[in-house]
Amino acid sequence: MVDVMAFRKFKPGNATHLSVDFVIIGGGIAGLACAVALRRVNHRVTVLEEDDVYTLEHGRSGPCRMPPNLSKILYHWGLEDEVRAIAIKSESISLLLYETGELLGKHHWDDEVMKETRGEFVFTRHSALRRLLYDVAISCGAEVRLNTKVAAIDPEERTVTLEGSGEQLRADVVVGADGLGGLTRRILHHASEEPHMGAMDMFRHDNELGYLPIASTTVARELITADPDLAYLYDQEHTTMFNWFGHGHSVLGFPIIDGSEFGLFIYGPSNSRGGSWNTIASNTDLEAVLGTAEPKQPSEIGKVSSEADMSYSALDDWVHKSGRMVVVGEAAHPLPPGSVQATALTVEDAAVLAKLFSHLRTEDQIGSFLWAFQDLRQPRCNAVMAKEAGIMYYMTMPPGEQQQLRDETMRAKRDAGIGILQASDEAEESPEWAEIKEVFGYDAEDEADNWWVEWGLLRERSKGVDVSYGVPSPIQVERAISS
Ligand SMILES: Cc1cc2nc3c(=O)[nH]c(=O)nc-3n(C[C@H](O)[C@H](O)[C@H](O)COP(=O)(O)OP(=O)(O)OC[C@H]3O[C@@H](n4cnc5c(N)ncnc54)[C@H](O)[C@@H]3O)c2cc1C
């Protein structure tokens, strides 16, 4: 039972003039974030999710990084206290060599710079964030139907058919938040596109609870601190994320929730293909991957059992030609598993979609708002995806000139006592840091507002629509939501 009072600081947005029905397929982070965002502006929302509540809360869950461009959205929605309750603030990063354990350098996040982004960099567990969004979605009036699998979609008719019962639901807008292997992606996929196979696989860990609480791996703090070789992971002045760079391998590790657990993403080549977050990888595969790791990594703890691969193809269009179906999240823009921006982009999608639909006055705007969503989101997601691919390469570079330059540059900064993202010459900031700031500083809702002011209003005026109408206040929206 959701305690509605638990979200006392929840802030509704400006309510739409025309409320319509959204059916969202998939109750992952993208689907639930869309549900919250659309309810904030008073659209009617039904989420259809095949998982049950136990899976949603405990299932297949590993660490999740929430960069400032994500946390700022949730803070803006009034969920700052709730996010703080499930996350730990990242304070610094240490980069090490995978094969030898040498510390190449550190960087402490500058509080002032972080403040500029209006968010925080925090670490949590995937299931904790999903559960939070689920509770908020329900408390603000979304209908979330768990154990409900969509068997078919007819975007022209705007209907979805449920597996088992055959029940049909009709919506004004169908949102595909059903992930990389979902139905909506297949509807929009062009047969000519060749699947792109990522160079890396990602392994996940099975703990005592068996198959469920995984996604890469999480290890209890006590296990780590009890091991003299690993205690340094917690024995730091600041909450630190560790990133080991190896030849074709990399490991990311960081404390999550309140620091009581340590999350790991382990990258490396594997023989098996075709997995997802749900498939089990063999321990032998992981042992092979970690073969070249220096011994002080926590990857030695526990057994590994799952694997996700990264095969996907890019979609040209995220909107169906009917103008009534759109894809969001991983269904639209899959990122390598464990990427820093994978979850953030999905929440940005939700914020932008809802901002656009807060301006809905007539049904004929639906198509143009969905295309505007694509126009706004594709360049941003493509730019972030390119950066993530670059990061992946940087972390796993083969030995050679580039790798030597990478390591030498860091060692020089380390020896000079400066942060690895700081500029080493007169320049105020390093290009790496400028790039990170740009991604972190992005404000999805501002982008949607800018679109409306620059293009949306213009279109309305050109159609002879009076756009001098007032915008309802958040109080009015709150009343509408609770009525
Ligand atoms: C099981 C699972 C565990 C994950 N764990 C982690 C993690 O620990 N750390 C991390 O950083 N990232 C994790 N991810 C990835 C992360 O969720 C994504 O990178 C990002 O949050 C975007 O997710 P999404 O909501 O777009 O897609 P997804 O997370 O893939 O969610 C899609 C949802 O749609 C549902 N669905 C699909 N088809 C249907 C259908 N026909 N009918 C009804 N429902 C349907 C699925 O059950 C799923 O809940 C996980 C993903 C999954 C699916």
- Give the domains, in start order, of the chain with CATH numbers: 4-88+118-195+313-390+444-482 (3.50.50.60), 201-311+394-437 (no CATH)
Report the distance separating Cα 477 and Cα 471, nearest Å: 10
The answer to whether the CB of 275 is under 6 A from ligand 1 is: no
Question: So what's the pLDDT on residue 281?
Answer: 54
The answer to whether the CB of 55 is under 6 A from ligand 1 is: no
The answer to whether the CB of 281 is under 6 A from ligand 1 is: no
Query: Which one, of 356, 364, 355, lies nearest residue 465 by Cα?
Result: 364
The answer to whether the CB of 348 is under 6 A from ligand 1 is: no
The answer to whether the CB of 30 is under 6 A from ligand 1 is: yes
User: 295: buried, middle or exposed (CB in 10 Å: 19+, 13-18, 0-12)?
Assistant: exposed
- Expressed in angstroms and rounded, the spacing between residue 95 Cα and the centre of ligand 1 is 29
The answer to whether the CB of 150 is under 6 A from ligand 1 is: yes
The answer to whether the CB of 356 is under 6 A from ligand 1 is: no
- Expressed in angstroms and rounded, the spacing between residue 73 Cα and the centre of ligand 1 is 20
The answer to whether the CB of 187 is under 6 A from ligand 1 is: no
Report the distance separating Cα 396 and Cα 267, nearest Å: 9
Question: So what's the pLDDT on residue 425?
Answer: 67
The answer to whether the CB of 28 is under 6 A from ligand 1 is: yes
Tokens of 409: 């540059």
DSSP states of 276-341: -TTPBPPHHHHHHHGGGS-TTSGGGSSEEEEEE---B---S-SB-TTSSEEE-GGGTS---TT-TT
**Hey, whose CA ends up nearest to atom 52 of ligand 1?**
277
Question: So what's the pLDDT on residue 337?
Answer: 74
Report the distance separating Cα 206 and Cα 211, nearest Å: 6
Report the distance separating Cα 93 and Cα 419, nearest Å: 9
Query: Which one, of 424, 215, 429, 407, lies nearest residue 306 by Cα?
Result: 215
- Expressed in angstroms and rounded, the spacing between residue 29 Cα and the centre of ligand 1 is 7
Spatial neighbors of 382 by CB under 8 A, at least 6 apart, are 333
Strand partners, 175: 24, 326
The answer to whether the CB of 105 is under 6 A from ligand 1 is: no
Question: So what's the pLDDT on residue 204?
Answer: 39
Question: So what's the pLDDT on residue 284?
Answer: 62
- Expressed in angstroms and rounded, the spacing between residue 130 Cα and the centre of ligand 1 is 9
Report the distance separating Cα 483 and Cα 480, nearest Å: 5
- Expressed in angstroms and rounded, the spacing between residue 232 Cα and the centre of ligand 1 is 33
The answer to whether the CB of 146 is under 6 A from ligand 1 is: no
Residue with tokens 């929009």: 188
Question: So what's the pLDDT on residue 482?
Answer: 58
The answer to whether the CB of 299 is under 6 A from ligand 1 is: no
The answer to whether the CB of 213 is under 6 A from ligand 1 is: no
The arrangement of strands across the sheet holding 63-66 comes to 63-66, 122-125, 88-89
Which residue out of 60, 69, 161 has the highest number of ligand 1 atoms within 8 Å of its CB and is therefore the one to mutate?
Answer: 60
Question: So what's the pLDDT on residue 421?
Answer: 83
The answer to whether the CB of 27 is under 6 A from ligand 1 is: yes
Per-residue pLDDT 10s for the chain (483 aa) are 445 557 889 999 999 999 999 999 999 999 999 999 999 999 999 999 999 887 777 665 688 999 999 999 999 999 999 999 999 999 999 999 998 999 999 999 888 778 888 899 999 999 899 999 999 999 999 999 999 999 999 999 999 999 999 999 999 999 999 998 899 999 998 644 444 433 334 443 333 322 222 346 778 899 889 988 889 999 999 999 999 998 878 888 999 988 998 988 887 765 544 455 655 555 565 666 666 666 555 444 433 334 344 445 678 899 999 999 999 999 999 887 778 899 999 999 999 999 999 999 999 999 999 999 999 999 999 999 888 888 888 888 889 999 999 999 999 999 999 888 887 666 667 767 777 778 898 998 899 999 998 888 888 888 777 766 545 455 545 555 554
Q: Distance of CA 366 to CAs 63, 354, 454, Å? A: 36, 12, 18
- Expressed in angstroms and rounded, the spacing between residue 339 Cα and the centre of ligand 1 is 14
Grouping H, G, I as helix, E, B as strand and the rest as coil, residue 162 is: strand
Closest ligand 1 atom to Cα of 214: 8
Strand partners, 169: 160
Question: So what's the pLDDT on residue 175?
Answer: 98
Amino acid at 277: W
